[in-house]
Structure 1
Amino acid sequence: MICRCFLAATALLASVAGAGELDPSQQKWIDKYEKQQNAPNPAEMLINTESEPALGEGFEPLFNGKNLDGWRPIGGECKFEAVDGEVIGTCVPGSPSTYLSSERDDYKDFIFTCEMKWEEDGNSGVMFRAKLRKKGDKETVYGPQAEMEGFSQDRGWSGGIYGQSCGGYFYPLWLKQHAEARQALKEGEWNRLTIKVQGNDVKTWINGVPAAHWQDDGTYAEGYFGLQIHSGKSGKVRWKGVRVKEL
């Protein structure tokens, strides 16, 4: 008789091995990022197979719909404004990346969700459990970011986890298992990003499609949220339904 512990170990090994299937269509991005400080070993990457959490009861809005009270921009001069219940971020040429950041900085375990729409294509994302470095008058945002890169690139890594100002991608969407997530973003429409964080475990969804499953090492146990407008020549992003449910 084959013991249950052997069967369980075999199943675990099969699951781990299956996670390491790099997608040949991602080769140019693999070449670019595989040697970065944070680049994960594909064979050790976890796969998000969980259904998107229910987004009904227990959520609190993070914006009052009228102004940006409780938030402040950090890092650059890109513009943010509240218009008709939405937050609109606009790139300012020559400005560094700018993060509209929650003044509250002790979010730990939560489900965060929002909808985003690109009025003008440009890199963006949502910082979570974010941190702040200060040197003189300069403030630098760093920590995990749920990438929302828009449509100008062909890699489709929206929903991946980027290590902003701390060594590159924690969780790139470069595996065969990420094919559906890479196609989940809809151009010209509202797109829903959901982030679930419990302890060191982080999962993301794009329009309900599972994307990332990353485990922090405890470095980013708590922090603030930040909406990014990336540096560049142009870009304009709208957010609505920005909500959080603390766990």
Structure 2
Amino acid sequence: GMVVGYQADIDFDSDWITGHLYEQDGRGSLAKAPEGLVEMLPTEEWIDYEIVAAGDRIQLFMNGIPTVDIEDPEGAKSGHFAFQIHSGAGCKVRWKDIRILPLEKWESSQALFDGSDLEAGWYPVGDEKWTVQDDAIRGQTQTGKYGWLVGDREYSDFILTFRYRWKSGNSGVQFRSWLVGGEEMHGYQADIDPAIPRMTGSLYDEHERGTLEKGGEFIDPDYELGRWHHYEISAIGNDIRLYHDGALSVHFKETVAERIRKGIIALQVHSAPLDSPVDIEWKDIQLINLEPPSPWE
């Protein structure tokens, strides 16, 4: 038989096909990905690919980078999913962690940072340095102590996605967390520190149980050169999953009932010597709130 319909393209031997939107056996090329996309993506590593189809609107994302965003009233509004191996020269590709999120959940996604203002939704704990540069939050140690940039709302069940660019030091993102004495952070942390083997992508319990599960071995010779990486935190009931650049790094089942709770989200810069400070950036911070609405609302 013949397959007709939208195709989210993959071809790293081409400068323009990966991240491109094509209509198979139809109108052909519909939207090209941005120039230089292939150079921004790792090779021979797992890559996160997101496809959003909402009415006439089609969006594609690779490792959190928007590649296509079009309105297409002529296109199909329903159909099958299929994976393709193209004709011609040999091709080898693998897929994993294939998930479908109901559209109403995707549409409830909210930006936790607008790219310009830390006053809206965030407050610092500690004396470390937090600034906004080029639509990103930059965290730096300046006294050698811990620092936190804390969100002003609490969440229980959610999917949190963001991109980060690591320069130096130990960092992470707190979730389902709480402050003791106004400054001591407790709770889950999605770890970031490429300088330490298997630290990035690990699940840590700050000021509680320590390391809960180590992450995968991320091998990337360009890691320290400042590439943006994609991170996803999924916390639904007792099920916690961390994904780094599309690859599942942690799948943890919480057995302590009281830890399945609402909590804050916070960005961390770890304590560090003054001559080797922490320096890290975050951007495109999005949250899908999966908590059922209160019957009193």
Match of 1:108 in 2: 156
Q: How far apart are residue 235 of structure 1 and its match? A: 1.8
Match of 1:238 among 258, 278, 281: 281
The answer to whether the Cα contact below 8 Å between 1:97 and 1:228 also exists between their aligned partners in 2 is yes
Q: How far apart are residue 56 of structure 1 and its match? A: 6.1
Match of 1:202 in 2: 240
Match of 2:140 in 1: 90
| SS at 2:183 equivalent | strand
| SS at 2:285 equivalent | strand
| SS at 1:158 equivalent | coil
Match of 2:185 among 141, 144, 156: 141
The answer to whether the Cα contact below 8 Å between 2:234 and 2:242 also exists between their aligned partners in 1 is yes
Match of 2:173 among 126, 143, 146: 126
Change (3 A) 1:80 1:231: same
Q: How far apart, CA to CA, are the structure 1 residues paired with 2:106 and 2:244?
A: 17
Match of 1:72 in 2: 123
Change (3 A) 1:52 1:73: farther
Paired residue type of 1:97: Y
| Deviations, residues 174-223 of structure 1 (Å, cap 9, x unaligned) | xxxx44xx337933200111011111110010000111011222314110
Moved over 2 A (4+): 49-58, 182-188
| SS at 2:205 equivalent | strand
Structure exhibiting the larger radius of gyration computed from Cα positions: 2
Change (3 A) 1:164 1:228: same
* TM-score, L = length of structure 1: 0.68
* TM-score, L = length of structure 2: 0.57
Q: How far apart, CA to CA, are the structure 2 residues paired with 1:221 and 1:183?
A: 34
Change (3 A) 1:227 1:51: farther
Q: How far apart are residue 116 of structure 1 and its match? A: 0.4
Q: How far apart, CA to CA, are the structure 1 residues paired with 2:153 and 2:175?
A: 12
Is 2:208 the counterpart of 1:166? yes
Change (3 A) 1:199 1:190: same
Greater helix share, structure number: 1
The answer to whether the Cα contact below 8 Å between 2:106 and 2:288 also exists between their aligned partners in 1 is no
Is 2:273 the counterpart of 1:226? no
The answer to whether the Cα contact below 8 Å between 1:130 and 1:220 also exists between their aligned partners in 2 is no
Match of 1:60 in 2: 110
Number of corresponding residues:
184
Q: How far apart, CA to CA, are the structure 1 residues paired with 2:241 and 2:136?
A: 25
Change (3 A) 1:104 1:113: same
Match of 1:183 among 194, 219, 224: 219
The answer to whether the Cα contact below 8 Å between 2:198 and 2:214 also exists between their aligned partners in 1 is no
Paired residue type of 1:212: V
Q: How far apart are residue 84 of structure 1 and its match? A: 3.0
Match of 1:211 among 249, 261, 275: 249
Paired residue type of 1:110: F
For structure 1, which segment, 220-229 or 107-116, has the greater mean C-alpha deviation from structure 2 after superposition?
220-229
Change (3 A) 1:89 1:52: farther
Q: Which runs of 5+ in 2 are unaligned?
A: 1-95, 291-297
Q: Which runs of 5+ in 1 are unaligned?
A: 1-48
Paired residue type of 1:200: N
Q: How far apart, CA to CA, are the structure 2 residues paired with 1:72 and 1:192?
A: 24
Q: How far apart, CA to CA, are the structure 1 residues paired with 2:211 and 2:98?
A: 24
